[in-house]
Amino acid sequence: MKSNYLIYTISLAFCFVSCSKSFLEITPKGKFIASKVSEYDLLFQNTTLINTGASPANAQVPMGDEVAVVDPYFNGAQLRTQRLFRWEDKVYNDDEDAFEMLAIMPQLYTYNKIINEVMDAQDGSLDQKEALRAEGKANRAWTFFMLSNYYGAPYSAATASTALSIPLLTEADVAKTSFQRATVAQIYDFMVKDLNESIPYLPKNPALRTRMSRAAAEALLAKVYLFMGKYEESLAMMNQAFSNLPTTFVTQLYDLNTTMAIGGTWGYDPNWALTSYQSLYPPAWNNIENLFPKQHGLNGWNSELSDILLSPEAFALFSANDQRLKFFTPEPSGGGKFAVPGLRRRNSGTQAQFGLRLAEMYLIRAEANARLANTAEAIKDLEALRVKRMPIEEAKITITDKNLLVKFVIEERLREFALQGQRWFDMRRLSVDPIFAGKEYTHIYYDADGKEKERIILRPERLTMRFPEKVMSENPGMINNP
């Protein structure tokens, strides 16, 4: 009975209150009554912690440069979708909440509460308390990573100490109303600190895939280092993550040559897939590639919506027999034809998965090795992934030039995560990368006849989103992005 009441109060605490005067934007309707170690542990047993928001929370999908749009579908898209695609300054109306915060801010509140209180729990061993606090810290680092890649400047060693990111929120205090933005360096340093402090106390073998493992925290730290341009540190940490993969549940790459075969284990049907969508890709908590499951729930751009599409230029990056192409269809939802050859609608799965998958771990290690001129090791990881995505003869890589190999890794990331939101975060970090200096990012809007209607060029200012007016009016001392 008591645990049922706890779950009830937890679910209430995740409610949003639109009139909140806090950057946290939440007010718990009940009270967290956790006082025992088992009750703090139960706070992690909540499926809402897996979701970074239901559609349309995934703003990074339409902002990636692998997307294009065409009428009449884009003309009927939500206003927010149209603004995101155009990289406009204002995404939300003055009275609207930011979808990017709706799920993440309550999660941050929960993690801060566990971190700050669990050591005073009435029972349990010191080791149990340390493990729960470590799990909170590692998850908090994830929320900071997400928020900083929405609202903070891209990390650059030259500007990190002065460029602004997000407020450094470390307290579960909804009464606080005054917030100052931390610098990019402060946020990234804090993520590194949280993860380094948590790793020694996290279990190698958590009971569930949805709980933080030591390897997951190490892989997340490797990703943070990658975004900081600290490639040696990223490589060392990812090697450590691979050596600590859990054994209590399966963690391995799917072989799409098998799962996506006609009549294969995922039930792929090329005729049905043309006009509708198939579940195919497992949800985050059942996905054996997931080491750290996070997803955007009910992502319409993965299934029935035709307003955000894979561009012809991105489609051309796939080889002919790449099984990942089967996640896309050349037809709009319900049938018909797109006016532009090469446009593709993603039609598999109902969520965009945005946690740490084994596929990304291989790609992070490959990129770190390529940047350090360890080309043979980089190719080894790339081919280990690609042979699970296409026939072996197409999976082979013969690139020997370091910079060209880095660019190939980035393209492989696009192929692996097309229309899943990863591309936007990559675009941000590549904007301060000398290898990609001068690259221009564009979106093309086609009319119903297939002619170019509008070409949008990404301005440097919009590598960061502006805080919505509602947040700014409730926190007048906070500085907005330009």
Q: What structural domains and CATH numbers belong to the chain? A: 2-53+93-246+466-474 (1.25.40.390)
pTM for the model stands at: 0.93
Best CA proximity match to 283, nearest among 345, 222, 341, 209: 209
Share of the chain above pLDDT 90, in %: 76
Reported as a single tens digit per residue, the pLDDT across 10-48 is 333 333 333 344 555 444 444 456 889 999 999 998 878
**Radius of gyration over alpha carbons of the chain, in Å?**
22
Reported as a single tens digit per residue, the pLDDT across 52-107 is 765 555 899 999 999 999 999 999 999 999 999 999 999 999 999 998 898 899 99
pLDDT at 6 over 50: no
Q: What is the pLDDT of residue 57?
A: 56
What is the secondary structure of 72-135 as a DSSP string? TTGGGS-HHHHHHHTT-S--S-TTPPPHHHHTHHHHHHHHHHHHHHGGG-SSS-HHHHHHHHHH
- pLDDT class for 173, splitting at 50, 70, 90? confident
Reported as a single tens digit per residue, the pLDDT across 350-404 is 778 889 999 999 999 999 999 999 999 999 999 999 999 999 999 999 999 999 9
Best CA proximity match to 340, nearest among 85, 81, 83, 71: 71
170 contacts: CB under 8 Å, gap ≥ 6: 112, 115, 116, 140
CA distance 213 to 219: 10
pLDDT at 276 over 60: yes
212 HSE (CA, 13 A, CB side): 28
Phi, psi of 208 (to 5 degrees): -130, 155
Pairing mode, if any, of strands 67-70 and 442-446? parallel
Q: What is the pLDDT of residue 273?
A: 73
* Element housing 423 (H / E): helix 422-430
C-beta of residue 427 within 8 angstroms of C-beta of residue 50: no
Q: Which two tokens stand for residue 58?
A: 């995934």
Q: What is the pLDDT of residue 277?
A: 74
- Residue that wins the pLDDT comparison between 267 and 174: 267
Reported as a single tens digit per residue, the pLDDT across 188-244 is 999 999 999 999 999 999 999 999 999 999 999 999 999 999 999 999 999 999 999
Best CA proximity match to 182, nearest among 209, 155, 220: 155
